[in-house]
Amino acid sequence: MIHKKIIFGLFLFTFLGACAAPTAMLGPAYTFTSTGNVLQAGFSYGSSELVTMYTGKTPMENVIEITTNDKKNIQKKTLESEDFKDLVISRVKKANSILKSSNQ
């Protein structure tokens, strides 16, 4: 009886393996085995599927994109912004007035 279940399981796994990405279930499977909580594993799988559906990328691809591109873009945007320019000009004027008052 046990051999029939194993053979049936392998049969299903072989033919239904292309229905979903095999790695899509690795995270929830690990969550389930480490915590034993089915609800948490389902939430993990469901949230990653929602992120993939909404953004078109997996959560890991989103993290890689955020960490590589945004740091450079944020720095560039900051240096080119009008607020930064106004801040630098005001600091230079303040430093000049302090220097002029100390020289007199």
pLDDT tens digits, 40-58: 777 777 888 888 888 888 8
Q: What is the DSSP string of 64-85?
A: HHHHHHHHHHHHHHHHHSHHHH
Predicted TM-score of the model (pTM)? 0.39
| DSSP conformational letter for 104 | -
In the chain, where are the structural domains located?
A: 1-56
Structure tokens at 40: 């948490």
pLDDT tens digits, 63-76: 777 777 655 666 77
Residue 22 pLDDT exceeds 60: no
